[in-house]
Amino acid sequence: MNKEIIAYQGHEGAYSHLSCRKVFPDMQPLACDSFFDAMFKVENEEAKLAMIPLENSTAGRVEEIYRQMPKTRLHIIGEHFEPVNHCLLGVPGSNIEDLKTVGSHPQALAQCHDALKALNLKPVAKLDTAGAALEVSQLKDPSHAAIASSLAAELYDLDILKQNLQDADGNTTRFLILSKTRSMPEYRPSKRFITSMMFRVRNIPAGLYKGLGGFATNNVNLVKLESYMAGGTLKRCQFHLDAVAHPDQRPMQLALQELEFFAEEVRILGTYEAHPFRTDHELIE
């Protein structure tokens, strides 16, 4: 019997691949060239789920995801927080003293900026971390390294020259788990839920302030609010919002009513259980 498929962006050994293996060990990970391709696999029912990074605690949001989400009809059914252990990888037998350049995804390079400066290494941007590791294994150049996961080192037979290269302790990436099928978990008071949505506010004075007022007056905690330009124009500003609430809770229902009065195109992306990382690290109370 074939395993169900979960799609991700990047080469084998990417942090998205690592997250797929941790969260869904019984599913078959499928590497895709781009975030769009991974999402399209789910839209086209070639994969059941997609594991997509949304933001990193050090380097910030993954901008492309905000541009792609409005173009899909996928639903968020879960989240995963992956602690990042950036490894400096070189060909077997190489050492740090011989290195001159290091390749990786721009986000990983940004997360290791100070460490690379201290090692006097020239950063070279690549499409993804695992692809950079694959390149090192193919070039066999002891002066060139990659920043990638320990899984990439295992898959491409590279030496780990340094662990935890990232500048900040607690460096973590938040992933969204996307599905074509909408899944609404039953509300239980003992559980914490996140509801994600996107919307545009009406073109009126203080429209955003008024639209969000219902969350404040109904004591609904907002843990994320991102703005980005949508539709290829500077005239339309779209927002992504995460609330610590379930749509079956009366305060959330009242807050949504007020938002819908002042906003346009309100779309609930999904409601899902808050990941334990949030409580363990006091991201929500």
Catalytic residues: 173, 175
144: helix, strand or coil = strand
Q: How far apart are CA 44 and CA 236, in angstroms?
A: 29
Q: 21: buried, middle or exposed (CB in 10 Å: 19+, 13-18, 0-12)?
A: middle
In the chain, the amino acid numbered 211 is G
Q: How far apart are CA 285 and CA 188, in angstroms?
A: 16
Q: How far is CA 106 from CA 16, 102, 114, in A?
A: 15, 11, 14
Q: How far is CA 232 from CA 67, 75, 228, in A?
A: 10, 23, 11
